[in-house]
Amino acid sequence: MIEKIKAAFASHYFEGALLILFGIIMVLFPSRSIHTIGIITGAILLALGAVLAVSYVTQFRQRHTLELFAGLMCIALGVEFVFRTSSLAPAMHAVLSITLIYSGILLFLQAYSLRNERGPLFIITLVFAAAAVVFAILMLINDDDSPVFLTVKGISMIVEGIASLFVIKALHIKD
């Protein structure tokens, strides 16, 4: 059960769904979006930390102290994000940007695996990957909190989340 929960947190589907959720929050509530996303992120970190800590305690033969340390760090960061989100707003901009860069890199890797086919999926994946990385770098450079900028960030996150889910789904169908 614990392994299934850990796998769910590591899933590309989970990442795509989070990008879409965070994007929708940014579009609908730009002035409160960073605070709301911080609380959601904190709750996810708390849950992940608890899962890692429980996994460490229950896995007698396959214990890794690093797993316990990571679980405790996730819990500590989760508490910070839930209760001190306003002071962590600049960090949230960086986290969201890094998440989009990571997603873009995954899409670049998917495009690389499709390079021999040169079909529409390859082109779509490559375009979304380039757009995600470029926009994420722009987000990292400019951490403006204006509602217009946050709405644009939200739209890009929704598109990136849909692209991630589309590419993953298309690759599973292809296999």
What angle do helix axes 147-174 and 89-113 make, rounded to 10 degrees? 30
Distance of CA 157 to the CA centre of its chain: 10
Q: Supply the DSSP string of 143-170, one letter for each residue.
A: ----HHHHHHHHHHHHHHHHHHHHHHHH
Per-residue pLDDT tens for 30-61?
877 878 888 888 888 898 888 888 888 887 67
Per-residue pLDDT tens for 84-107?
877 777 777 777 777 777 777 877
Structural domain boundaries in the chain: 2-174
pLDDT exceeds 80 at position 114 = no
| Ramachandran quadrant class, 118 (left: phi over 0; alpha: psi -120 to 50; beta: rest) | left
Contact indicator for 72, 53 with CB cutoff of 8 Å:
yes
Long-range contacts, 109-115 (Cβ 8 Å, 24+) = 110/167, 110/168, 110/171, 113/171
Alpha-carbon distance of 17 to 81, in angstroms, equals 20
Mean confidence (pLDDT) of the chain: 76
pLDDT of residue 175: 42
Alpha-carbon distance of 137 to 13, in angstroms, equals 23
pLDDT of residue 168: 62
Alpha-carbon distance of 137 to 97, in angstroms, equals 7
CA-derived radius of gyration, the chain: 17
